[in-house]
Amino acid sequence: MSAAGNNRDGSRVIRPGGTIGVLGGGQLGRMLALSGRAMGYRFVTLDPTPDAPCGQVADRQIVASYDDAKAAQSLAEQSDVITYEFENVDADVTELLMRQSYVPQGSKLLYTTQHRLREKRAIEAAGVQVAPYAEIASAEQLREAVVQFGTPCVLKTATGGYDGKGQWVIRSLDEVEEAYDTLSRAKTELVLEQFIRFEKELSVIAARSPRGEVKAFPAAENIHINNILHLSIVPARTSESIQQEAERLAMRIAEALDVIGLIAVEMFLTRDGQLFVNELAPRPHNSGHYTMEACQTSQFEQHVRAICNLPLGSTKLLTPVVMVNVLGQHVEPLLDWIADPESERQPGVTAKVHLYGKQEAKHNRKMGHVNVLADAPEAALQWIEASNIWKTNQ
């Protein structure tokens, strides 16, 4: 199609006017489409739920399940380039899309990041350290590994986990049988990890384009509640040299894994200044939402630029920021706050509200986020505290 052309080095470029197909119609696809449409791209998304968050802002939504070959074919026909907003894309669907359309991110990175063991090996091969781990195939093996690592340690399913699901923190040898029985029901390999007594969790999102250009966003300090991301604080409250080291590690991983598009790298920082990579996500990431107002380029624009092979944008941080997630239980207090001129407002603090257009505000469901811009992260944290919005049900 006319939107596709070639760069001087022969790599393919998708110019604005072209159509980006997004597998998955959730909030990540929505923010990708909002950003890409501003640049003049068209969007078509595939998602089983009608009026999905991305469907609401895309040109079109194909309503079908992710493994529907006809629907995937239709997505391929309508798109100049295809991306995805979740990593558990079926291998057959990826193959079909790659045959019928252009999927610059390829299938290899998905294959690697869909499986914790493959992912850890790839990170190690890039020369980056992960928490000590062992593959577990039986309860006896688990017992031996627990003895070796000591408690606590964490048993995880190799595939399909998110927001702490598919995990068991083993606190004593008595739990070995139950932990093994419970997690082995998922019918996937298991991996045991040594528990890292981290001082902070950090993440860095890096982007790489087919031209080979690589850029990292500033490191975020992440705070989880019930294994769900609650806050991303930027700049991270740690030394500049650690922030830079985290950003270097993410770029090294992006290069070693031949990433096209975004890669989110979650890390543990220990008291003695060591960084261990926890996991990767080959897509926009919740801990990168702060970039939407706080950086010269958002993670979503950067992803569009990378998959379309435009030059990457500057990742410079414009202002300190704290991103706070809005879960189902926070929606009502947030809506009261936003409409009430009397509600907590703090000089020098600007709260940018993002809501994803989801119908049902279920408990702990990600409904939106707020980027709180301030002169210092502490002022943003104070605002979050004073607003009382995040007091509910935590």
Residues binding ligand ADP (CB under 6 A): 131, 154, 161-164, 193, 195-196, 201, 224, 227, 266, 278-279
Q: In the complex, what is the shortest distance from the CB of residue 264 to ligand ADP, in angstroms, rounded to a whole number?
A: 10
Residue 166 annotated in ligand binding? yes
Residue 116 annotated in ligand binding? yes
Q: Which does 224 bind (CB under 5 to 8 A by kind): Mg ion, ligand ADP, none?
A: ligand ADP
Residue 243 annotated in ligand binding? no
Q: Which does 131 bind (CB under 5 to 8 A by kind): Mg ion, ligand ADP, none?
A: ligand ADP
* Rounded Cα gap, residues 280 and 106, in angstroms: 16
Q: Which does 193 bind (CB under 5 to 8 A by kind): ligand ADP, Mg ion, none?
A: ligand ADP
Q: In the complex, what is the shortest distance from the CB of residue 268 to ligand ADP, in angstroms, rounded to a whole number?
A: 6
The region of 87-95, 149-157, 223-231, 260-268 touching Mg ion under the rule CB under 5 A is 260-268
Q: In the complex, what is the shortest distance from the CB of residue 296 to Mg ion, in angstroms, rounded to a whole number?
A: 27
Q: Which does 162 bind (CB under 5 to 8 A by kind): ligand ADP, Mg ion, none?
A: ligand ADP
Residue 165 annotated in ligand binding? yes
- Return the residues of window 276-315 that contact Mg ion according to CB under 5 A: none
User: Closer to Mg ion at the Cβ: 85 or 266?
Assistant: 266
Residue 290 annotated in ligand binding? no
* Rounded Cα gap, residues 330 and 348, in angstroms: 23
User: Closer to Mg ion at the Cβ: 42 or 283?
Assistant: 283
User: Closer to ligand ADP at the Cβ: 189 or 344?
Assistant: 189
User: Closer to ligand ADP at the Cβ: 163 or 344?
Assistant: 163
Q: Tell me the three-class secondary structure of the chain, residue by residue.
A: CCCEEECCCCCEEECECEEEEEECCCHHHHHHHHHHHHCCCEEEEECCCCCCCCCCCCCEEECCCCCCHHHHHHHHHHCCEEEECCCCCCHHHHHHHHHHCCCCCCCHHHHHHCCHHHHHHHHHHCCCCECCEEEECCHHHHHHHHHHHCCCEEEEECCCCCCCCCEEEECCHHHHHHHHHHHHCCCCCEEEEECCCCCEEEEEEEEECCCCCEEECCCEEEEEECCEEEEEEECCCCCHHHHHHHHHHHHHHHHHCCCCEEEEEEEEECCCCCEEEEEEECCCCHHHCCHHHHECCCHHHHHHHHHHCCCCCCCCECCCEEEEEEEHHHHHHHHHHHHCCCCCCCCCCEEEEEECCCCCCCCCCEEEEEEEECCCHHHHHHHHHHHCHHHCCC
User: Closer to ligand ADP at the Cβ: 193 or 245?
Assistant: 193
User: Closer to ligand ADP at the Cβ: 47 or 201?
Assistant: 201
- CA dist 152 to 45, 178, 349, Å? 42, 15, 40
Residue 84 annotated in ligand binding? no
Q: In the complex, what is the shortest distance from the CB of residue 133 to ligand ADP, in angstroms, rounded to a whole number?
A: 8
Residue 279 annotated in ligand binding? yes
Q: In the complex, what is the shortest distance from the CB of residue 61 to ligand ADP, in angstroms, rounded to a whole number?
A: 27
User: Closer to ligand ADP at the Cβ: 131 or 170?
Assistant: 131
* Rounded Cα gap, residues 85 and 262, in angstroms: 11
Q: In the complex, what is the shortest distance from the CB of residue 263 to Mg ion, in angstroms, rounded to a whole number?
A: 13
Q: Which does 196 bind (CB under 5 to 8 A by kind): ligand ADP, Mg ion, none?
A: ligand ADP
The region of 21-29, 77-85, 266-274, 358-366 touching Mg ion under the rule CB under 5 A is 266-274
Q: In the complex, what is the shortest distance from the CB of residue 134 to ligand ADP, in angstroms, rounded to a whole number?
A: 12
* Cβ proximity of 29 and 45 under 8 Å: yes
Q: In the complex, what is the shortest distance from the CB of residue 266 to Mg ion, in angstroms, rounded to a whole number?
A: 5
Binding-site residues sit at 116, 156, 161-167, 193-196, 201, 224, 278-279
Q: Which residues bind Mg ion (CB under 5 A)?
A: 266
Binding-site residues for ATP sit at 116, 156, 161-167, 193-196, 201, 224, 278-279
